[in-house]
Amino acid sequence: MKLYRTELDKGISKKLFDIDTNQFQLDELDFYENTINGELSAERSSNGYHISGILNIPFEQTCDRCLTKFHNLRSTEFNFWLTDKNELLQGDSDDILYFSRDDNEIDLKTLFQEIILLEKQMKSICNESCKGLCSSCGTNLNYENCRCSIEESKDDSWEPLKNLIDK
């Protein structure tokens, strides 16, 4: 998505936008919709422009416990500044971007990609109460009970008797 200097100079107030998720083709990212939508505002500031807004990211994730795919819509706010003042870029702040006086537009794709990657959760659980899969038979315990735990305890109770017979 591109912002033009002419728009920035006029100021942008809560403009709605859609970005094609195909732009963010990264192995570790899946989306359940074709677009990421958001809202963006921009205003002039003393050293350039201040940009702020929201991204609504439709993550499709796989649960670490039950291996089922689930939808995880994350809304994240962003805030950054565009400037041509080199002294402001010295620190390692990620939210100050260089925007040369000669440039008439800036592409936000890389910045949005970083925001999306940061927003993706390391831990991926469909629901805090997810029971996961049975380690013996693989049944998804959220939907049905398997007989593994019942049979295991039955076996245990016969164990002393079996020992007697063997001897």
Interface contacts to Zn ion, rule CB under 5 A: 63, 65-66, 126, 130, 134, 136-137, 139, 146, 148
Cβ of residue 74: shortest distance to Zn ion, in angstroms?
Answer: 18
Q: Which is nearer to Zn ion, 123 or 167 (CB)?
A: 123
Q: Which is nearer to Zn ion, 29 or 146 (CB)?
A: 146
Q: Which two tokens stand for residue 36?
A: 């990421």
Cβ of residue 147: shortest distance to Zn ion, in angstroms?
Answer: 7
Q: Which is nearer to Zn ion, 75 or 145 (CB)?
A: 145
Q: Which is nearer to Zn ion, 86 or 135 (CB)?
A: 135
- Give the C-alpha separation, 70 to 134, whole Å: 19
- Give the C-alpha separation, 58 to 70, whole Å: 10
The 3-class SS string of 99-141 reads: CCCCCCEEECHHHHHHHHHHHCCCCCCCCCCCCCECCCCCCEC
Cβ of residue 160: shortest distance to Zn ion, in angstroms?
Answer: 25
- Give the C-alpha separation, 61 to 109, whole Å: 22
- Give the C-alpha separation, 95 to 115, whole Å: 11
Amino acid at 28: E
Furthest C-alpha separation in the chain: 92
Q: Which is nearer to Zn ion, 16 or 137 (CB)?
A: 137
Cβ of residue 122: shortest distance to Zn ion, in angstroms?
Answer: 16
Cβ of residue 124: shortest distance to Zn ion, in angstroms?
Answer: 9
